[in-house]
A and B are shown apart, each in its own frame.
Chain A
Amino acid sequence: MRRLVAPVAVLTGTLFLAGCGSGDTRADSQAGSGAEVSVSGAYMPQPVSDSMAAGFLTVTNKGGTKDELTSVTSDVGEVTAHETVGSSMQEVKDLDVPAHGQLVFKSGGSHLMFEKLKRKPQQGEKVTVQLHFAESGTVTVEMPVKSATYNPKTGH
């Protein structure tokens, strides 16, 4: 039996989540406690120019199976994930979202990097981002554009 893993998200703030399992949901998903991913705390600091921007969010997996973030897409431009390895930043293809764990993108650590932007995202706008997971399919996130100095700890 094919099983659609529906990421029923606990949403915070202005985060809006759409899309559940995509059309290519795997037929061979293991039965039982599958991955259960949700996304929170997404934001993009207003970038300096239209050439580059960063995005941050947290993926939480409440399920008993790990999932993997395989790619990220957006209509605003090209998106890649970067993490800090040792003393250098590296582009990464597949990022684990451990069972009962989190994948965190935050300032100073890992980030989503947006390049070749079609426009410069302005504070107050939202950027639509699709997160593609190996198990849970595609999750769409409306990422609010915050001020260039936005600090999620203080909320301003």
Chain B
Amino acid sequence: MRKKTFAAAALLAAATLTLSACGSGEDSAQPVTVVSEEAGSDKAAIVLDKPFEKPDLVLTDTNGKKYDLRKETEGRPTLIYFGYTNCPDVCPLTMNNVAVAKKQLSKAQQDELRVVFVTTDPERDTASALGKWLKGIDPQVVGLTGDFDTIQAGARTLGITIEPPHKDKNGKVVSTHGTQVVAFSPKTDAGYVLYTEDATVDDYTKDLPKLIKGEKP
């Protein structure tokens, strides 16, 4: 087991790690991982010394029903990602990486795990648009939409900065997605592991069984 020293500096780093729209920095080889460098180690997962509290988000799910994140995911291993469906590259890749890894778990483990996708573009990502998109990835994923300010505030508590969608000079909507997936422990309900954009199917496949038990990857 590896443990990475990761405290205030990392939080700061996480806070600055946001990305607009569909790309990351010019060379995405080593974005977040610089703060947790350890030769030869699994750079995709960052175990936090000071875990995040689960955001107090009450939003709308893909059935149009009220969804209280803390209540619904209490005591459950939970992965949270902030993104939007009109995102060709990183958002579907991240969600598919998680979904493909999840399918390799037992049925019981899959049912135990909560994967939550919170939209950063609630105006376009209505409950039904979100539901349709997520069905193409994994129908078990919980899709949440609602008031942008509420979503932004929730993301901020996880060190994820998102900006309101705006139109560029060509009239196209530019949205922001988070850069990391946050894993919450079923034991403490705290967000204790971050996965960067570099996390692959293999990384999630290796780690999910541990995350489901609240263990450190």
Q: Are A47 and B88 in contact (CB under 8 A)?
A: yes
Nearest opposing residue in chain B for A154, CB measure: B200
Is B15 positioned at the interface, with any CB of A under 8 Å from its CB? no
A151 at interface, CB cutoff 8 A: yes
Q: Which residues of A contact B137 (CB under 8 A)?
A: 48, 148
A126 to B133, CA, bound (A): 23
Q: With a CB–CB cut-off of 8 A, which chain A residues contact B92? A: 45, 47-48, 148
Q: Among the interface residues B22, B100, B170, which one has the most CB atoms of the partner chain A within 10 A? A: B22
Alpha-carbon distance between A107 and B198 when the two chains are bound, in angstroms: 10
Of A2-10, A15-23, A108-116, the one with at least 4 CB within 8 A of chain B: A108-116
CB pair A82 B22 closer than 8 Å:
yes
Residues of B within 8 Å of A87, CB to CB, are: 18-20
Counting CB contacts under 8 A, is B139 at the interface? no
Interface size range on A against B: 20 to 34
Query: A49-B133, A151-B200 known; A111 and B23 CB under 8 Å?
Result: yes
A48 touches B136 (CB 8 A): yes
Q: Tell me the smallest distance from the CB of A111 to a CB of chain B, in Å.
A: 5
Decide: A49 and B22 in contact? CB cutoff 8 A. Answer: no
Within the assembled complex, what's the spacing in Å between the Cα atoms of A87 and B162?
11
Asked if A89 and B20 make an inter-chain contact with CB atoms under 8 angstroms apart, the answer reads yes
Interface digits, A70-100 against B, CB 8 Å rule (1 contact, 0 not)? 0000000000001110011111000000000
Evaluate contact between A84 and B200: CB separation under 8 angstroms. Answer: no
Residues of A within 8 A of B (CB): 45, 47-49, 51-54, 82-84, 87-91, 106-111, 113-114, 148-149, 151, 154
9 interchain residue pairs of minimum CB distance: A89-B21, A108-B28, A84-B23, A88-B20, A54-B88, A48-B136, A148-B96, A108-B24, A54-B89
Q: List 7 A-B contacts (CB under 8 A).
A: A47-B88, A54-B88, A84-B19, A108-B25, A109-B26, A148-B100, A149-B96
